[in-house]
Structure 1
Amino acid sequence: MLKRKYGDRSDWKRIFQRKYAQDFLDTEKFKGYITLLHTIKVREPLSVTYGEKQVCIVDDQYMWLQQFPAEKKHSVTTMFDASGEVVQWYIDICLRNGMENDIPWIDDLFLDIVLLPTGELFIKDEEELEDALSNGIIDEHLYTLAWNEVKSIKSLIENGTFELIHLAKEHKEMLTKKFKEGT
């Protein structure tokens, strides 16, 4: 059984006070749902380590934009710090994107790509994918699909043509306006 992750992250206990907005876009560059979680007040900051680098990904006044492109095998979460700077792009490889109770979701296929603003790229959770295959949670087809998606996205990033990272600030601004409008 694949883990389903929801765009509103309503089960996240770390966040005491939040704002949330979402929208559906159908433009030349992007078709799908976008969500924005504004962590107004958190219980405690959250940092992660990549190699020698420690990156704070959640604190008071951070924003997480998630893009759920229609009919794609990935979702992108752009994490912005309190001053609006990107701290990382987190790309979930997934079997599918969907909607349930008006909230977008992904069925997670274990592998993830982290891209830092410095251009450093990390592939995460290979061991989780291997365990899922060994334990019969996924089959060889899904295993191969996950790795092929990673290779494809990595190539797009290296070529500067992975459009979702270029659209992140624009999408964040669209949803930030919804906060101000109260919708």
Structure 2
Amino acid sequence: MLKRKYGDLSEWKRVIKRKYSQSYLDTKEFKGYISLLNTIEVTEPLSASYGETKVCIVDNGYMWLQQFPIEKNHSVTTMFDARGEIVQWYIDICFRNGIENAIPWMDDLFLDIVLLPSGELIEKDANELEDALTKGTIDKPLYDLAWNEVENLKILISTGNFDLIKLSNDHKEILSNILK
């Protein structure tokens, strides 16, 4: 059974006070759902370490923009600091994206890519994908789909053709105007 992750992140206990908005877009550049969580107040900051690099990904006033493109096998979370600067893009590889009870979601396929503003690219959680295959959580076609998606995205990123990251600020602006 794949883990379904929802765009509103309502189960996240770290966030004490929040604002949230979402929308459906059907434009030339993007078709799917976008959501924006503004973490007004958190219990404590959260950082991620990538080798020697430590990145604060959640603190008071941070925003997480999630993009759920229809008929794609990935979802992108852009993390903005309190000044509105991008601290990282977190790309989840997924089986599919959808909507349930008016909330966008993705079915996570374990593999992830982190892209830092410096251009550094980090592959994550290959061991989780291997475990899922070994334990029968996923089959070989889903395993192959995940690796193929990672390889395709790495090519798009390295050639500057992964358009979702280029849309991060525009999508944040759209949703910032309707935050509740």
TM-score of the two chains, using structure 2 as the length reference: 0.99
Residue 176 of structure 2 corresponds to residue 158 of structure 1: no
Give the corresponding residue for 1:62: 62
How far the C-alpha of 1:143 sits from its partner, in A, is: 0.4
Aligned equivalent of 1:107: 107
Aligned residue identity for 1:86:
I
Q: 1:57 deviation in Å? A: 0.1
TM-superposed CA distance for 1:147, in Å, is: 0.1
Aligned-partner Cα distance in 2 for 1:46–1:107: 24
5+ residue gaps, structure 1: none
Matched with 1:140 is: 140
Summarize the alignment of residues 22-61 of structure 1 with structure 2, pairs less than 5 Å apart.
22-61=22-61
Instruction: Find the aligned partners of 1:99 and 1:89 in 2 and give their Cα distance.
Output: 22
Q: Which runs of 5+ in 2 are unaligned?
A: none
CA distance in 2, matches of 1:48, 1:170: 25
Q: Structure 1 residue 78: deviation in Å? A: 0.1
Cα deviation for residue 23 of structure 1 reads: 0.2
TM-score norm. by structure 1 comes to 0.98
1:12 is matched with 12
**How far, CA to CA, are the matches of 1:74 and 1:178 in structure 2?**
25
Which amino acid in structure 2 is aligned with residue 153 of structure 1? L
Residue identity in the other structure for 2:37: L
Give runs of aligned pairs for residues 66-105 of structure 1, distance below 5 A: 66-105=66-105
- DSSP-derived class of the 1:178 partner: coil
Cα distance, 1:61 vs. partner? 0.1
Measured against aligned partners, the alpha-carbon deviations of 1:39-93 in whole angstroms (never above 9, x if no partner) come to 0000000001001000000000000000000100000000000000000000000
Q: CA deviation at 1:134?
A: 0.3
Runs of 4+ in 1 over 4 A off after TM superposition: none
- Residues 82-127 of structure 1 show CA distances to partners (whole Å, capped at 9, x for unaligned) of 0000000000000000111100000000000000000000000000
Percent identity, aligned pairs only, is: 68
Shift of 1:13: 0.1
- Residue 100 of structure 2 aligns with an amino acid whose one-letter code is E
SS at match of 2:10: coil
How far off its partner does 1:144 sit? 0.4
What residue identity is the alignment partner of 2:33? Y
Instruction: Give me the whole-angstrom Cα distance separating, in 2, the residues matched to 1:60 and 1:27.
Output: 32
Equivalent residues, number? 180
